[in-house]
Structure 1
Amino acid sequence: MDNNTRPIGPPTKHQLALMIWLCVFPTLTVINLTLADWLRPMSPVLRTFVLATIAVPVVIYGLMPQLHRARVRILTSRSTS
């Protein structure tokens, strides 16, 4: 980072909402399709608990950090162009 480049701040609420949606929807879709036969006999509450228990760590520790890095790269490349 040179002296003329400002650090990229945190995402706005709207950016964060979009980033979360981009991580959560595909993650839940893949988990649902992968575990459909196993989840089918469960009650909706238990099924939701299982999905959330798997999806939240995947999103928070796996996908969101990558998306934050991608956002910084995109915004940095725009500001230097």
Structure 2
Amino acid sequence: MDPDGAGTLREGATGPEVTELQQRLLRIPDVYRDGATSGSYDPTLTAAVARFQLWYGIRGDETGVYGNDTRAALESRTAPVSG
């Protein structure tokens, strides 16, 4: 069980959930400019998540960690990723 809650992603994570996060961040102006959609939670993605948290005043998750609060904020600002 993830202590941060189900669905929490952090640096070192990989997989389709990370790719979806990257695709969503690319839709927010200037947060993840020219970022990769590699499915790998790398330092560049950590910095982009931290930037999103700072700019939108998101509290409750560690800086650079994609937890429940950050996920809700990002998903509310971006359309679902279509398969």
Q: TM-score range by the shorter chain?
A: under 0.3
| Higher Cα Rg, which structure | 1
User: What TM-score comes out, normalization by structure 2 length?
Assistant: 0.27
Whichever structure has more helix as a proportion of its residues is 1
User: What TM-score comes out, normalization by structure 1 length?
Assistant: 0.28
